[in-house]
Every structure is written in C-alpha cells, then in structure tokens.
Amino acid sequence: MNDLLELLRSERWSLFEATAAHLDLVGEAILIAVILGVPLGILASRSKGAERSILGLANVLQTIPSLALLGVLLILFQGQIGKPPALAALVIYSLLPIIKNTILGLKGVDRGVAEAALGMGMTPWQRLTLVELPLAVPVLLGGVRVAAVASVGMATIAAAIGARGLGSYIFRGISLADPRLILLGSVPAAALALACDAALGELEGRLDPTRPRRTGLRDILAVSATLILVALGLYGAWGELGSGARADTIVIGSKDSAEPVILGHMLADLVEAHTPLKADRRLNLGGSLICFNALKQGGLDAYVEYTGTALTAILKRPPDNDPARVRSTVGEMLAKDGIAMLPPLGFENTFAILMRREQAEALGIRKISDLARYSETLRAGFGPEFMNRADGYPGLVKAYGLDFAIRPREMDRNLLYQAVEKKSLDVAAGDSTDGRVASLDLVVLEDDRRYFPPYEAVPLVRAGAIEAHPRLREALERLAGKIDAPTMRKLNHEVDGLKRDPAEVAREFLQSAGLLGP
C-alpha cells in the first residue's frame, strides 16, 4: 500500500494530465458520434429499409474486436499513431447505442402530439425540431450515456497505438508486471466512467418531464460535477494541441517492454540534451510493425529496433546468421524507404527459449535440441509475433525437430515470464537481455544449431527528420557502442525486478556514462 501511495505521489501530475487527455478523447468521440448518429437515427426512424440497413451496419461495426479495429484503422490512417485512429475507433463503437436510442425516442413520441403539430400547420422540419426531437431527447441521452461509459473503457486500449490517456499506465503495468501501474490507470478510468454515467443520468432526468423534480442541492452538485468534467476535458484538449506535431519536436517511439521503453527514454534525453528540439515520447506502442509503419509514414521520427527483427519481420527476408551482412542488408533496404539505420548500440538481444531452472536441471535440458526428447509432455507458450515470424516458431520446430503434443499457447509476451515462473507453462520465448530472466530464476537454453539470426539494437530514424535537423544524428549517435549486454540486462532488472521508473533508470545511465554533458 505504501508503494502504491508513493507511486501516486510521484506520478500525480502525469496522472492528472493522462486523465484529462482520456476524458478529452472520450468527449470528442461522443460529440462526433452524436453529430453522425442522430441524423442517421432520424433517417432510420422514417423508413423500415433505412432502419435495417443503418442498424445492420452499426451492429456489424460493433462486433469487430477492438484490437482488430485499431489495426485496420492504423492501415487506413497510413501508419499514423495517436489520437486520430483512436478517435475513429471510439466513434465507430459509439454509433450503435446513439442510433438505436434516437430511433426509439422518435418512435416513442405520442402519435396524437405529432398529428396535433401537423394540424397546426407545421412543416415536417418544424415538427421534427420543435416537437419530436425535444420529446425524444431523454431517450436519446440514454444512448449517449451508454456510449460514453463504454468509450471510457475502450479508450484505455487505444494506448496501444500511442493515444494519450489512462491506458498508458495499464499497458506499462502489464509490460512491467507492476500491479501498481495497472491500478493507477484502471481506478481513475472506472471513476471517470461512473462520473460520466452519473452526470449524463442527471441531465437525462432533468430533461424528462415525467420524472419528479430534484432538490436544489442535488442540482447544484450535478451541475458542479458536470462543469468539472467539461473543464478537465478542455484541459486535455489544450494539452493535446500543445503537444501536437511542431517543427521543433521529435517524436520518439518504442515497443512494449522494459528494454525498448528504457532505450526510448535514452533517445529522447539525448535529443533534448544536445539539440534545441523537444522530444515527444510515444512509448509502449506494441509490436515492430506498429512502430515501423508509424516511422515510415511520419508518425514517429525514431525508435530502437533489432537487426534480425527488421530483416525477417519487417523486410520479409530469410534469416541470416552473419551480423555484418544483416546490418548491410537492413541498412540498404531501409534507406529506400527513407529510413536511416544508425550504428548499433553495442549489445544483441536475441530470442531466448526459457525454462524454470529447477525443471531444466531435473530433466537435464541445457540446449534447445534437448527439448525434442520431452516436447510431447512440455507445455509451451509464445507471443503472437513469435508464432508467426519467419525467424520464430515455424522455423524453430523445423530446425530442432520439435513436436509439442499440446499446442503452444499464444499470449502476450510480457505475461510469458510469469506464466513459466508460476508453472502454468514449461517453455516460453523471451528476450536474452530481459531482467526477468534473472529475477525469476529462469534459464536460457543454448541455441546449439544457431537458428536465431543476430539481433543487434539499432536506432531507426526518419531521413527527413535528419535532413530537417542536422544535429539530430550526432545527438543519437552518442549512444553507439555504449551499452553491452550485461549492462542492458542490469538496466532491465532495475525496471522489471526492482520496479523502478524507466525514465529515471535511463537518465541515470546516461549521466553515469557522461552522455548528457555538463
């Protein structure tokens, strides 16, 4: 409990800004969904055919899994990360309840009232705007209320594509196996959902003439709470505008585990220490393809990748065991896409096949080839990327003749370490420099057939950013050759094992190495 309170104290301002950004994202999405959904609901209420078509399409969009929708939107937005694709996803998910309740509200208007309006000589437009819609507003607000509460939860997932908000704490907590960070993101998100539900519920009741009047004190509290939510959302919108794309800002990204996040902070610190530029840190984004596509399309300016991953997962080339040849191939091919590969940082982080030390020693398993004798009884688990990469599971089982009787479980790679430690799995694929290997007493099996290609850590930078800011390359190249594998393993352990802030760990290393200057 004390640890949680200490974290809350240190993160209080960042948490406030994340909450404001989260509310801004939800508020803008609901506003756009109302602007789109209400006219569609009006149209659907006037025609059975239109109702079937509109509700059918909205229902289909609602059934798309959230991560799949975000992936599709990243493609449609040409790799752009952050608010735009997240906003589009929230709008899509908010349409159905708003359209449905608009239809229900309009159809629920007493026919006698509608006919009286017609008898008074009102035009169809006047009848709609002066009679039907005002009477339907309480029901319509019920749909907005449902959409708002659902959007607060959905907005946390949008952190996977760089959207600001409370989801960044949840994803950091998952990747670092830190329940404090998960609570720091999920509790305010739940509170926001309850606050939005209560505020819209009060407004809904206020506009419904059939409900009894509330006390003056309750009205004052409801109005005050609503104003606070609106002010918080406006502050979030202002913060988003302030952090938007500017000529003096470099956007630094990272993948979703401790090591890439630490390295992302190092790149950002070097940019701010040795250039007049500001660094916008969009860290913990997800897999290689999300980061690379964002870099290629201009959503990111730099992030740290691994040469073997770039060769096989990004460039779709066959694995190669020669480090120099891999560097040359990757550098030349990325240059064609306007991306510069800077010199290696000094360490290699290869895939590591992991087991619990006690189990590996009991079975006499030291090498990956030893797994073949026990693959019928061992339970394996791998990350989604590893399961589908050319240098991942398909090639591994072929190279070592493995035949797992129990189909390997596919799960988030950051959860695999705990699954092995808790004996839910026996074998998993991790990273050779991950600090959790030591802290959880896992053993890395020897790649005795040299199946995995070299994975040297290298910064990838947009060539356009280097051309626009000549001092950028020099600043980032200060890190070249400065981190060896033991050092990286120690830094990862500081974050994974000791639960320290990655930004603090990164800055301490740069200072100790004399890379930040006076």
Structural domain of residue 317, as residue ranges? Answer: 249-348+455-512
| 427: its two tokens | 């074998």
- Look at residues 199, 216, 242 and tell me which one is the last residue of a structural domain: 242
- Look at residues 200, 220, 242 and tell me which one is the last residue of a structural domain: 242
DSSP code of residue 132: I
- Domain co-membership, 186 together with 130: yes
Q: How far apart are CA 173 and CA 256, in angstroms?
A: 11
- Domain co-membership, 227 together with 282: no
CATH, residue 323: 3.40.190.10
pLDDT tens digits for 197-239?
Answer: 888 877 777 766 666 665 666 667 667 777 777 777 777 777 6
Q: 504 falls in which pLDDT band (50, 70, 90)?
A: very high
Residue 93 has pLDDT above 60, yes or no: yes
**Sheet of 339-341, strand order:** 278-282, 249-253, 302-306, 457-462, 339-341
**The predicted structure's pLDDT at residue 174:** 75
- Residue 442: closest CA among 359, 351, 369: 359
Higher pLDDT, 456 or 172: 456
**The predicted structure's pLDDT at residue 389:** 79
- Look at residues 397, 418, 444 and tell me which one is the last residue of a structural domain: 444
Tell me what the mean pLDDT of segment 371-383 comes to. 89
Is residue 449 assigned to a domain? no
Is residue 24 assigned to a domain? yes
Residue 156 has pLDDT above 90, yes or no: no
CA atoms within 13 A on the CB side of 287: 17
- Domain co-membership, 382 together with 495: no
User: Residue 457 pairs with which residues in a beta bridge?
Assistant: 306
CATH, residue 405: 3.40.190.120
- Domain co-membership, 299 together with 156: no
- Domain co-membership, 238 together with 106: yes
Q: 111 falls in which pLDDT band (50, 70, 90)?
A: confident
- Domain co-membership, 83 together with 202: yes
Is residue 517 assigned to a domain? no
Is residue 180 assigned to a domain? yes
**The predicted structure's pLDDT at residue 264:** 95
- Domain co-membership, 82 together with 190: yes
- Mapping DSSP onto H, E and C, the string for 408-424 reads CEECCHHHHHHHHHCCC
- Domain co-membership, 87 together with 165: yes
Tell me what the mean pLDDT of segment 278-305 comes to. 86
Is residue 15 assigned to a domain? yes
Is residue 518 assigned to a domain? no
User: Residue 353 pairs with which residues in a beta bridge?
Assistant: 429
Q: 81 falls in which pLDDT band (50, 70, 90)?
A: confident
**The predicted structure's pLDDT at residue 215:** 60
Higher pLDDT, 227 or 78: 227
- Domain co-membership, 38 together with 86: yes
**The predicted structure's pLDDT at residue 158:** 81
Higher pLDDT, 165 or 365: 365
Q: How far apart are CA 505 and CA 217, in angstroms?
A: 50
Is residue 404 assigned to a domain? yes
Share of the chain above pLDDT 70, in %: 92
Is residue 371 assigned to a domain? yes
Mean pLDDT for the chain overall: 85
262, 495 contact by CB (below 8 A) = yes
Higher pLDDT, 440 or 5: 440
**The predicted structure's pLDDT at residue 288:** 82
The number of distinct structural domains making up the chain is 3
Residue 242 has pLDDT above 70, yes or no: no
Q: 306 falls in which pLDDT band (50, 70, 90)?
A: very high
Higher pLDDT, 78 or 513: 513
Tell me what the mean pLDDT of segment 329-345 comes to. 94
- Domain co-membership, 259 together with 407: no
- Lowest mean per-residue pLDDT among 218-222, 242-246, 413-417, 472-476: 242-246
Residue 321 has pLDDT above 80, yes or no: yes
Higher pLDDT, 179 or 31: 31
Q: How far apart are CA 167 and CA 154, in angstroms?
A: 9
- Domain co-membership, 318 together with 439: no
Q: 247 falls in which pLDDT band (50, 70, 90)?
A: low
**The predicted structure's pLDDT at residue 364:** 93
Residue 126 has pLDDT above 70, yes or no: yes
**The predicted structure's pLDDT at residue 367:** 92
Residue 428 has pLDDT above 90, yes or no: yes
CA-CA-CA-CA torsion sign (434, 435, 436, 439): positive
- Domain co-membership, 144 together with 24: yes
